Amino acid sequence: MPLVDLSMVEQRYDAVREVLDGATVKDTATRYGIDRRTLHRWLVRYATDGLAALADKSSKPDRCPHQMAPEIEARIVELRRSQPGWGPRTILNKLRRELEGPPSRAAIYRCLVRHRLISPKPRRRRRDDYKRWERSRSMELWQIDVMASVLASGIGVSVVTGIDDHSRFCVIAKVVARATARLVCDALLEALSTHGIPEILTDNGKVFTGRIGRRPATVLFDRICLNNGIRHLLTAPYSPTTTGKIERLHKTMRKEFFSDNSFDSIADMQTALDVWVTGYNNEREHQSLGDVPPIRRFELARPASLEVIDGDVEPEQELQPVKKIVSRRVDRTGRISILKHRYHVGRHLSGEAVTIESADGLLHISHNGVVVATHARRHLIDDDDKMDRRPRHARKLAQPTKGAEVLRIVDKHGSVSFAGTGYRVGNKFIGSTVGVRLVGDTVQITLDGSLLRTHRARHDRSKEFGALAQPNGKPRKARM
């Protein structure tokens, strides 16, 4: 009989003996400060194995009907060690082809953790919490991006990549010395000539678009899309998850291709990359596709038979939308009139000339290139051609006052000071001498007889006399 801790076993034995002598389980459990179910377990253990069974023992079950068989566990360890890049999901797919009843993915994960082949990961969000988005058919949308790499000599190179959104088929994998506009567009033209014309999704890189710069322009990539009728979509700024499929392709390339290989020249890298891409498209199983190669989805797309137009060709005029733009001058109430309909712009722009653009059922009102108001169009779209017509009995706006004018020099911030208050003029007039007039409750700023800005008066009206008494401003102090 093994040695036991009598101090604890003796108390349990006394409780069991009292019950066997006739005491109730409820009263005995109350005296010893234990639960009745605990006392019942002691009685069963004592009746089964005697006094030694009342000692403490591990709560580990004697057997587990769901325990993984040693042969399967050894096979999992073997697969992981032979392919360190395979995770629980990939190993499960391999075991499904070998076994009739393979273990679950969670069981494989715990097996790898027990053998210290992977590290336990912190709890992540559930897969249902992620919003998955993809096109319904192949050749509807391509995601295109540029990734960086290096040669064996340490010289940096770029890889222009593209992937089909639905099938994950790699349509572009071109190694270039630098990601210039011409080289990136040559890779795009080659892919378009081979596969056809889809929509394209890129980030806001300068090589892809010039729409969001300080001075919007049409770059070569945009011209190719325009000439071939391609809808070019852009991601929101700082949103790399929008192009998550191409980013995932980059991760796979770095892990399976670039991390294990080094090349002396761009030609060698391109040759090896072509071989890898062929295997990726035609042989490598893709988990997001149900463990089939991307070619199984991409081959369902219709082959292309279109002539691709380069971006050096000027886009046809028919492809550029015709915009209807007219000009108006804001009246003293801050409104303009379009085909007998009045739209509010703002009193601070009274007397200013604005442009009105009609597009998509809206009227966009701009002042000096800045949209200051947007209204729903009240007239019919067929009447856009009549927007140039002015009302016959339109009242003429009052001319600016010809009264006293003071001169001010525009400071380095593009503003002038009048009666102790700053009024904006514009950075392009910094250092210029402009005139300031009072017109009712507004302040007009002129240059060589031309009206530049009109502001609502914000200064203290009691200080106007002092400001008008010094038409050239306060004399500047001489520097010692």
Is residue 476 pLDDT above 70, yes or no?
Answer: no
Measured N-to-C along each axis, helices 25-32 and 36-49 cross at an angle, to the nearest 10 degrees, of 110
Alpha-carbon distance of 137 to 135, in angstroms, equals: 6
- Judge residue 53's burial from the number of C-beta atoms within 10 Å of its C-beta, 0-12 exposed, 13-18 middle, 19 or more buried: middle
Sequence-distant (6+) residues with CB within 8 A of 349 are: 330, 334, 367, 372, 454
pLDDT band of residue 304 (cuts 50, 70, 90) is low
The residue among 326, 65, 289 whose CA lies nearest residue 165 is: 289
Name the CA dihedral angle for 182, 183, 188, 192, rounded to a multiple of 10 degrees: 90
Residue in the structure block whose two tokens are 């009242």: 395
Q: Which of 69-83, 281-295, 359-373 has the lowest mean pLDDT?
A: 359-373
Is residue 66 pLDDT above 60, yes or no?
Answer: yes
Averaged pLDDT of the chain: 83
Q: What was the pLDDT predicted at 312? A: 67
Q: Are 207 and 184 in contact (CB under 8 A)?
A: yes
Residue in the structure block whose two tokens are 């099938």: 167
Q: Are 201 and 243 in contact (CB under 8 A)?
A: yes
The residue among 249, 250, 169, 247 whose CA lies nearest residue 203 is: 247
CATH number assigned to the domain covering 70-125: 1.10.10
Alpha-carbon distance of 95 to 66, in angstroms, equals: 17
* DSSP string across 328-393: EE--TTSEEEETTEEEE--GGGTT-EEEEEEETTEEEEEETTEEEEEEE--S-GGGGGGTTPPPTT
Is residue 272 pLDDT above 90, yes or no?
Answer: yes
Q: For the chain, which residues make up each domain, given as ranges?
A: 6-54, 70-125, 141-298, 321-386, 406-469
Question: What are 333's two structure tokens?
Answer: 């109430």
Q: Please write the tens of the pLDDT for every residue from 109-167.
A: 999 998 888 888 776 666 665 666 788 889 999 999 999 999 999 999 999 999 999 99
Region 66-76: what's the mean pLDDT? 87
Q: What was the pLDDT predicted at 276? A: 95
The residue among 152, 194, 148, 157 whose CA lies nearest residue 172 is: 194
pLDDT band of residue 400 (cuts 50, 70, 90) is very low
Is residue 89 pLDDT above 80, yes or no?
Answer: yes
Q: Could you tell me which residue, 223 or 461, shows the higher pLDDT?
A: 223
Alpha-carbon distance of 478 to 480, in angstroms, equals: 6
Region 302-308: what's the mean pLDDT? 66
Region 104-113: what's the mean pLDDT? 91
Count how many Cα atoms sit within 13 Å of the Cα of residue 274 in the half-sphere of its side chain: 7
pLDDT band of residue 396 (cuts 50, 70, 90) is very low
pLDDT band of residue 202 (cuts 50, 70, 90) is very high
Alpha-carbon distance of 133 to 244, in angstroms, equals: 10
Q: Are 383 and 339 in contact (CB under 8 A)?
A: yes
What's the maximum distance between 2 C-alpha atoms anywhere in the chain?
121
Helices and strands (H and E) in the chain: how many: 12, 17
Q: What was the pLDDT predicted at 397? A: 40
Residue in the structure block whose two tokens are 């066997």: 20
Calculate what percentage of the chain has a pLDDT beyond 90. 29
Calculate what percentage of the chain has a pLDDT beyond 70. 86
Region 329-357: what's the mean pLDDT? 87
CATH number assigned to the domain covering 141-298: 3.30.420.10
Q: Could you tell me which residue, 377 or 402, shows the higher pLDDT?
A: 377
Q: Please write the tens of the pLDDT for every residue from 13-50.
A: 888 989 988 899 999 999 888 999 999 988 998 888 88
Q: Is the pTM of this model over 0.75?
A: no
Contacts 24+ apart (CB under 8 A), 413-419: 416/445, 417/473, 418/443, 418/459, 418/467, 419/459, 419/460, 419/461, 419/463, 419/464, 419/466, 419/467
pLDDT band of residue 208 (cuts 50, 70, 90) is very high
Is residue 344 pLDDT above 60, yes or no?
Answer: yes
